Amino acid sequence: MIFPFLRGLASPRKAPVVYILILLNVAIFGISAAMSEKTQTSIDAILDNVEFVKTQGVLFSQEIKAHPHNFSSVLRKLSSDALTGNEDSLEAMGNLALRNNKFMIQANSIEPKGDLVAFKFWKQKFNRLLELQAAHPSYFMGITANHNSFESLLLYQFAHSDSGHLFWNMLFLLIFGVFVEAVIGSARMLISYLCAGIVGALTFALVSGYSFSPLIGASGAITGLIGIVVTLSWGYRLPFFYWLLPIRNYFGFVALPAWILIVVYVLPDMSGYLASVKDFHSVAYSAHLGGALAGALIGLSLRLKFQSRLERTLGEVYSRLPREVLRNSEDNQGHPSYFQRPTY
């Protein structure tokens, strides 16, 4: 386990924008959670209704059967299973239908075959679901196929659907945000952060296409911050906290090259993106990667201008760490080894 340790930068006085962003995110999360509680229960009630999901599965499968060329081979295979009456496949199709743009757009106009009464009640529930979703913070803040104006490109970055998602995003915003803010300044940091988020959303739209399940979360913007940190401090060593074993001397501080951040934080997004199958995953890896790319470009463009400020900031951080770490980071400039051994 390893993450950058930037003691001395993390005070609200030194990084006001980061703290404002965190407070904003938490506040929006709290408000939207309170607002959406009722809506969420109603939505869940509809989505938990097996009959609704199965009927939707039948309709989706029939639509795929009627227009097979419009859908991926995976969906074609699944739908043919569902049409043999396999209940699990029908349920799976019913759930996948909600993520499929083509279905969501046409759903109300598809001519159903079979149990017309069941379809009638499905349609009632389906339209109720659309209404509920329109009133749900995740949907009106997030980016969806029919909700992708410029405001939503900004707004989606502040919406989180669950507390775990929020916690990790805010933790990384704190870790990387304070460093970026210290080096390039508050205003530039804010603009870069928002830009990275916007580019992330646009990349997602370009690569995966907008979906009917909303794109939300600060992840894209935060990966952008990582990109900025990596390119800004390329060639320098950053202080890290490492933890190998719960034994003294096996956790502590170490100065490591900045590219470690790519290995530890950006490669997993890359893996996730490569491993994801369209319509079946829920993490927008492409948005993360887009954000990271935007951040890297921003970092590169600011690199020369802020070199001295970067060195000053790093010096400040190292000065607060145990003397040995600082010494190592100075002594080992240009050293061929990849890692510095910790001191004992």
Partner 1 sequence: MVIDDVGNSQKREPTQNHSNKSDSSEHSSAFIASPVDRLAAFMADLVVFLPILTLCLAPIKKQVLLAQIAGDNEKLLILGFVGAGVVSLLLVVYQTLFIGLMGATPGKKFLGLKVVNIWNKTKPDFFSAFVRSSFWVLSLCTFGIPWLAIFSNSHRRPLHDRAADTLVLVPDRKRASSSPGMVETSMINGLNAAIITFTILVFSVIFQSYIHDNKHLADTIVNSSEASTQRCESVTSAIGGWLGTEKQAPGRTEIALALHAGERIDDECLESEVTMNFLEEKDLELSYLAKALIKQDDEEQFADYIEKVCEKDEKTSGCSLLEYLQAQKSDAIHITDDAPTYLRIWAVRLNLERGHPQEAIAQLKNPAPHMDLAYYYSMKRLQAQLELKRETDINQDFLASLDGLNREERISLSRETCLAETQMGCSGAKLSCQKLLEFSTSFKTEKELSFENPQSVLAIARAVRCENKPELYEKFQSAVEIPAGRALLQALELKSKGKIKDAMTMLKSLSRQKELSEFRVESLALLSELSQKPAELESLSSEWGEEEPSSISWRYFGWALAEAYFNLGDYSRAFEVGQKLKDSGFNSVEFQKKLVVAAYRADQVEAAKELLVDLDALESETKVVERLPASSEKEANDLEEQLQKISEVLRASASSSAPDDKEEEKDL
Binding residues vs partner 1 (CB under 8 A): 1-2, 54, 58, 74, 77-78, 81, 83-89, 92, 113-118, 120-121, 242, 244-245, 247, 250, 254, 260, 263-264, 267-268, 270-277, 280, 337-342, 344
Q: Residue 98's closest CA among 134, 136, 60, 55?
A: 60
Do residues 6 and 253 lie in contact, with contact meaning Cβ atoms separated by under 8 Å? no
> Which of 24/243 has CB closer to partner 1?
243
Minimum distance, C-beta of residue 17 to partner 1, in the bound complex (Å): 30
Q: Residue 23's closest CA among 173, 236, 221?
A: 173
> Which of 9/82 has CB closer to partner 1?
82
What pairs with residue 239 in β-bridges? 255
Minimum distance, C-beta of residue 333 to partner 1, in the bound complex (Å): 17
> Which of 78/310 has CB closer to partner 1?
78
Instruction: For residue 237, give Cα distances in angstroms to 55, 144, 173, 232, 317.
Output: 58, 40, 20, 11, 11
> Which of 35/244 has CB closer to partner 1?
244
Give CA–CA dist 306/319, Å, rounded. 20
Instruction: For residue 198, give Cα distances in angstroms to 10, 191, 204, 223, 293.
Output: 26, 10, 10, 12, 12
> Which of 167/339 has CB closer to partner 1?
339
User: How many C-beta neighbours within 10 Å does residue 82 have?
Assistant: 27
Minimum distance, C-beta of residue 123 to partner 1, in the bound complex (Å): 12
**CB-based contacts of 52, cutoff 8 Å, min separation 6:** 46, 94, 122, 125, 126
Minimum distance, C-beta of residue 219 to partner 1, in the bound complex (Å): 17
> Which of 114/315 has CB closer to partner 1?
114
Tell me, what DSSP letter sits at residue 263? I
> Which of 140/242 has CB closer to partner 1?
242
Minimum distance, C-beta of residue 335 to partner 1, in the bound complex (Å): 11
Minimum distance, C-beta of residue 207 to partner 1, in the bound complex (Å): 15
Tell me, what DSSP letter sits at residue 108? G
Q: How far apart are the first and last CA of the chain?
A: 19
Minimum distance, C-beta of residue 214 to partner 1, in the bound complex (Å): 23
183 alpha-carbon distance from chain centroid: 24
Minimum distance, C-beta of residue 295 to partner 1, in the bound complex (Å): 18
For 126, the token pair is: 């389906």
Do residues 179 and 227 lie in contact, with contact meaning Cβ atoms separated by under 8 Å? no
> Which of 30/114 has CB closer to partner 1?
114
